[in-house]
Structure 1
């Protein structure tokens, strides 16, 4: 996903476009899965869901006029 595509998807997701939110989650899902390998297998699904919830919140709270890029903003939300 290019930065322009991510910007458009964040903008659309903030307007309620569920498809745009799904594209954002799908773009980051490989990283989510990789991170979930660091927790016990029994907790992996809950961990993934928690990360997805954080992404959804970050998308809705992100100011598209702000200086930091989206990934930096997500890291600040921890």
Structure 2
């Protein structure tokens, strides 16, 4: 999974929209789980915000200096927490 995600991020950064969609699809179960934990009128906004954060992080992620998936997840979490 680690190298597959790395390859998907690399392809997404090179403009492969399908790779970007694949990454987002892989996170959808977790996103939908988080979505169910808040009020109904805010669920769609939360899902869109999380997806936007994922896309921004994918596109700005430094594949040369940070190859660790755990670091990627930690940075994603930091961004999410700073926006809330």
TM over 0.5: yes
CA deviation profile, 1:29-76 (whole Å, cap 9, x unmatched): 000000111210111011100000000000011001233422122123
Write out aligned runs for 1:5-24 (5 A): 5-24=4-23
Of Structure 1 and Structure 2, which has the larger fraction of its residues in helix? 2
| Distance in 2 separating the partners of 1:49 and 1:36 | 10
**Paired residue for 2:30?**
31
User: TM-score, normalised to structure 1's length?
Assistant: 0.90
| Distance in 1 separating the partners of 2:37 and 2:17 | 29
RMSD, aligned CA: 1.2
| Distance in 1 separating the partners of 2:74 and 2:62 | 12
**Paired residue for 1:49?**
48
Gaps spanning 5+ residues in structure 2: where? none
| Distance in 1 separating the partners of 2:40 and 2:25 | 21
Gaps spanning 5+ residues in structure 1: where? none
What is the number of residues matched between the two proteins? 77
